[in-house]
Structures are given as structure tokens and as C-alpha cells.
Amino acid sequence: MEMMAITWCFNCTICDIDFSSDKANSLKMHIYKHTKDYPFMCPECGKECGRGFTRSRTLKDHMTVHSGVRPFKCSFCDRSFNHKVNLLVHERIHTGERPYVCSLCSKAFRTTVALHVHQRVHTGEKPYICDVCGRAFSQQSSLCVHRRVHLNERSYVCHTCNKSFNNPQNLKLHLRVHSGERPYVCELHC
């Protein structure tokens, strides 16, 4: 007697991605990306960026970031890491290895995550949306920096004039006012 496998299809009603029945749990995990209502929140960085996890084990692994324990040492420099995979990715800086290549423009990356983020340049995907103003971002880190605008959080302070900024790049640009640094030369000899 021959057994027939029945496959069901589950659809994300938010972004219209389909998941097969053997991946039914994947839909549940996927929905968290939209709702940000993760069952396991990081008590440290979850406050600022809403960093959450779908599994308790993943949160436990993540918490080593905050413990300071870094047993994996780079053989090229003095850096150390809390996970072996982070060491392997870091060592690619020294070796120059970039194994993940964009199929659209041939740009190469050290990690699959970096490749995936880059591909949003081509697709225009901006999955990280500010819940205050609705502005969309292609990277979660950009959303975190943007949120400081609404919080009026200015934690980057110039030690010369006490002017404060909401991101380190703006402080770096401001410091040129005091140093007199002019890194860009006019090609027209102005």
C-alpha cells in the first residue's frame, strides 16, 4: 500500500511568502519579524532596538555578548570572540576571503547576512519600519540610529564645546570644526 504525503501551504498574510506544512513552525518564526513580539527578549539590548529571539537557546547564546567571556582568539591579531563562528568571519578580514557573491552585481561579502542586506539595494526592500513616523530602513541598525531622533537621545557629546549629537558620524563631522581638518580637496582649485 502506497502512502501519500499531504502537503499544506501556509501563507504569511503580511508579506505573502508561502511556507509548506513541513515548515509550519517557520511561518510562526517568520511572523515575529513583522510583529517584533518575540517570546524571548534580551534584557540588555532589547530596550533600545527591541532585540528579541524566537528560541530560548538563541537568547542564551546571545547573552554571552554581554558577559564579556571571549574564549576564541584570532591567530592574526589580538581580538577575541564569544563564538567560534564570529572568529571565523573576523579572520576573513585578514585572509581577504569573501565567499558570498551577489548574483546581480558580483560584489562579494564575508557573510551571508552581509550579502542578504546588500541584495536589498537591488530589491528596494526596507523591512525595518519606525513605529513612530513610518520611515522604512533596509537595516535594523539604521532604524536603531533613527529612533534616537524621536527619543531626542543625544549621547555623543563634543568634549570641546559640549554640543551633543544622536549618532557618532555627526559628532565625527562636527569635530572637524575644532580641528580645522578639511579632508576633501576641491578639484577646481577654489
Question: pLDDT band at residue 19, thresholds of 50, 70 and 90?
Answer: low
178 or 189, higher pLDDT: 178
pLDDT at 187 over 90: no
Which residues, in sequence order, are CB contacts of 141 under 8 Å at separation 6+?
A: none
Question: pLDDT band at residue 6, thresholds of 50, 70 and 90?
Answer: very low
Domain ranges of the chain: 25-67, 70-117, 126-177
Residue 40 neighbours by CB distance under 10 Å = 16
Which residues, in sequence order, are CB contacts of 14 under 8 Å at separation 6+?
A: 31, 34
The pLDDT value given to residue 122: 94
Which backbone phi and psi does 186 adopt, to 5 degrees? -75, 125
As beta bridge partners, residue 108 has: 101
Residue 53: burial class (beta carbons within 10 Å; 0-12, 13-18, 19+): buried
d(CA 139, CA 82): 23
d(CA 190, CA 186): 6
What nine digits make up the cell of 24? 509550519
Q: The pTM is what? A: 0.52
Q: Fold identical between 70-117 and 126-177?
A: yes
For 101, the 3-state DSSP assignment is strand
d(CA 170, CA 168): 5
What CATH code would you report for 70-117?
Answer: 3.30.160.60
Mean predicted confidence (pLDDT) in 38-65: 79
CA 126 from centre of chain: 12
Compute CA distances 11 → 6, 42, 166, whole Å.
16, 29, 39
| Class (C level, CATH) for 126-177 | alpha beta
